[in-house]
């Protein structure tokens, strides 16, 4: 059917990460990095990294 052409199927985890990051940015209020880490199951460093990538920090 696709005769040798490449078909891209996004990985579910990557799709979810975009919406998670948007929610994280919406929830950020300068003082809650630790709480966001707990809520989203990641370290404070990862929370800060996401916020920097999104231009918040």
CATH of the domain at 23: 1.10.10
Domain assignment present for 25: yes
Domain assignment of residue 25, given as a range: 12-53
Domain assignment present for 4: no
Task: Give the total number of structural domains in the chain.
Answer: 1
Residues contacting residue 56 through CB under 8 Å, at least 6 positions apart: 25, 28
Domain assignment present for 42: yes
pTM beyond 0.85, yes or no: no
pLDDT (0 to 100) of residue 35: 97
Domain assignment present for 48: yes
Rounded CA gap, 44 and 53, in Å?
14
Write down the residue that tokens 């040798």 correspond to.
Answer: 4
pLDDT in tens, 13-27: 877 888 999 999 999
Nearest Cα neighbor of 28 from 8, 9, 11, 49 is: 49
């Amino acid at each position: 059917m696709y005769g040798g052409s490449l078909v891209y199927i996004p990985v579910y985890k990557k799709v979810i990460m975009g919406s998670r990051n948007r929610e994280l940015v919406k929830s950020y209020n300068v003082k809650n990095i630790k709480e966001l880490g707990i809520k989203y199951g990641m370290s404070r460093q990862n929370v800060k990294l996401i916020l920097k990538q999104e231009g918040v920090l």
